[in-house]
Amino acid sequence: MGLSRSQFAQEFKLAAVGRLKQGVSMAEMARGLEVNPNVLHRWRREFRQGPGNAFPGNGKRRWSEGRVAELERKVGQEALEIDFLKGCLQHRGTADAAGVEQNPRSSARSKKK
């Protein structure tokens, strides 16, 4: 039951090192990327030693482009459903305030003669 090591794409590592150069704190980056701060220290050190040849491997991306797009579509669909339901609730609230009866059935019983 061995643990597998995460592999990251070169672009991912370069983007992380670039954000560190812009002044983002190491702890904040580690939390945001869900990596150990020691990993970020190592990436920064490797980049400083040879910026042109840094990270030569074939790392895997944490989130594929397709998965991100799929999740964005799902969030959009959920937002549309929420907006629709909010509109329904607002319409119902205005009907209650206007004195419109929610149950259209008559409560009075007719008597047969």
Note whether residue 112 is domain-resident: no
Quick count: other Cβ atoms within 10 Å of Cβ 17? 21
Per-residue pLDDT of the chain (113 residues; tens, 9 = 90+): 456 667 888 888 888 998 988 988 889 989 988 889 999 999 898 888 876 767 766 555 555 667 788 888 999 999 999 999 999 998 887 766 666 555 555 555 655 65
Same domain? For 41 and 24 the reply is: yes
Pair (1, 56) in one structural domain: yes
Q: Are residues 72 and 50 in the same domain?
A: no
Q: Are residues 55 and 74 in the same domain?
A: no
Same domain, 41 and 16: yes
Q: State the pLDDT at residue 63.
A: 57
**Same domain? 54 vs 72:** no
Give the alpha-carbon dihedral of 60, 62, 67, 72, to 10 degrees: -150
We report the CATH number of the domain holding residue 33 as 1.10.10
Closest C-alpha among 13, 69, 75 to residue 43: 13
Q: Could you tell me if residue 108 is inside a domain?
A: no
Q: Residue 21 sits in which domain range?
A: 1-62
Domain co-membership, 41 together with 88: no
